[in-house]
Structure 1
């Protein structure tokens, strides 16, 4: 019994010793694995640090980076600046028009290129994130590249001023052709002129593109042509006297005579294009003393009174009859409340600024020209146009009584070459009151 017990003890002790040896062996293996892993990590870390030091966190711009069209790979900031400062230097902006050249200098508009800003952007492109982000950006740049633009700064107000100064040398004001008739009835024409206007918006946009692209090619200035409302060819169609009418006034009535002459001058030398309307009130403006009109007799509610502008109705009445004989379309006419001594009944045209106006239209396909001649107690209104529009016209006035008052109906008669009436046109009905005592 004692011997078996001792054998069992020895066996158990041996088993325990074997387990301890096995455990020591495993612990030793685990330590070796950890050491190896730590070694690998250390090597990777050293490689990353070395890579960042030599390829990323150095004093050079990463590979495959361009500033504008210049490759700045592996260059320092100083090396890059030395290359770019001359290559992207602001230049004169040259603008051409009709054989002349105009220039906008960089200093005129305070133009500069922010080269150092672009260099810093290129330099920091692979250096501004974390280690891993920078490595990722670096390899993406190697594969795809990166292009950085050089931004510009300039004074917008000074650029606008420079363009405006150039436009003043190019712009030409549009001029309508003018018709004039001398005292002998000779017709002459001052030629029209096509206007020119520099297109500020389009040209400024083109300059913006030059500054942005740094491609300082010559710019052809864009100009907008402005056609005259009346060209030379149109004015030259005025070649014939269509109709005229004359009245007399007393030079002894100085205020009235002055008003007749002033109103005649303000409604003279008027060219009416086809369809255009003549307005007596619009041309004379208010007949007040500040406009040069004087006090003279006027008809007010059937009575003769002294007011500024007396006598201007003689001018409108003379024009009215000239327009009738010229075949023009009468669009607004009103007779006086009393008969006028200077013109037959049914042929007067009363005007009152802010009230009654005398108006007529040009019905022809050619322009017509209104010319008044006044002086020495005679007022003549003449209307010129094209020979194709000249007609044989007479005025017919039928007098009658209306509620005991003198009245008249005015007609325009068109005649053929033999004097036969081929058309009669009703114009207006006039009713005249009896003078108040």
Structure 2
């Protein structure tokens, strides 16, 4: 995972190639994608979680976070109320569409090869991160998820395991969720003054509860001089009487650290 320098031409050519490849899968593949929306919430909340809209990040101007909120507000209109019927797949980007100025999207922060830059629609990763985290606490199955390749900012008041989110980039880095159950699931999203809220809801009372945790975490000093951060994410499933039914592997993460690992304990506040 040694950092690689790619020319702008190569980056643009790769983006075009992978976007075309995604369009082909969307429109000529065999997946049945979720498109139906229902404004009335389904009766049972399967899981809910929230994340703060504004964070103090080193060298990041607050206007980028304010613009991020504007971008999230636009995307929410496309996703709030989406139903995933049995046998259907939810595609984050297929439902949102391409973020453009014409649609009202503005410049926000975009992580880029170990640093950050501004880009139209920047900040939508917070939304994909939250949806992914909520999905891990439901019977739905994540069939596509991408991790960040770089660890840009030191931990600050972390309440979730390292890299327990899902990065996104239109449209080749997608988040896709499959409903293999017999019941419909509904995604509800909304904003408060300072939080982004998400819920998975269904028409039947939940009979399982989940605990997502970090099973192992370590840092390695690589031969090329940098540091890599690694961890393993697992999930425990319990019945409503708190009996353990399963303890399953979810994913593993490997990220190039863009700060000195001795500055802060990387395990601080991980739960």
Normalised to the residue count of structure 2, the TM-score between the two structures is 0.69
Distance 1:366 1:418, change over 3 A: closer
Matches within 5 A, 1:35-114: none
Q: Hey, which of these two has a bigger chunk of strand by percent?
A: 2
Match of 1:318 in 2: 130
* CA-to-aligned-CA distance 1:296-335 (integer Å, 9 cap, x gap): 1111111111111111000001111111112210101111
Structure 2 CA distance for aligned equivalents of residues 360 and 306 of structure 1: 28
* CA deviation after TM superposition for structure 1 residue 388, in Å: 4.7
* CA deviation after TM superposition for structure 1 residue 290, in Å: 2.2
Normalised to the residue count of structure 1, the TM-score between the two structures is 0.44
Aligned length: 207
Q: Hey, which of these two has a bigger chunk of helix by percent?
A: 1
Structure 2 CA distance for aligned equivalents of residues 324 and 258 of structure 1: 27
3-state SS of paired residue (1:433): strand
Is the 8 Å Cα contact of residues 92 and 128 (structure 2) preserved in structure 1?
Answer: yes
Structure 1 CA distance for aligned equivalents of residues 181 and 68 of structure 2: 35
- Corresponding position: 1:370 with 2:187: yes
* CA-to-aligned-CA distance 1:134-162 (integer Å, 9 cap, x gap): xxxxxxxxxxxxxxxxxxxxxxxxxxxxx
- Corresponding position: 1:430 with 2:242: no
Match of 1:243 in 2: 47
* CA-to-aligned-CA distance 1:366-416 (integer Å, 9 cap, x gap): 111111011312111101113254411111122423643112211221013
Match of 1:381 in 2: 198
Structure 2 CA distance for aligned equivalents of residues 377 and 388 of structure 1: 30
Distance 1:309 1:177, change over 3 A: closer
3-state SS of paired residue (1:319): helix
Is the 8 Å Cα contact of residues 328 and 363 (structure 1) preserved in structure 2?
Answer: yes
* CA-to-aligned-CA distance 1:227-273 (integer Å, 9 cap, x gap): xxxxxxxxxxx431111221011286321111122223322110111
State the Cα RMSD in Å: 2.5
Q: Extract unaligned runs of 5+ from structure 1.
A: 1-175, 182-186, 188-237
Which portions of structure 1, spanning 4 or more consecutive aligned residues, are displaced by more than 6 angstroms? Answer: none
* CA deviation after TM superposition for structure 1 residue 344, in Å: 4.2
Q: Extract unaligned runs of 5+ from structure 2.
A: 1-34, 55-61, 222-227, 261-271
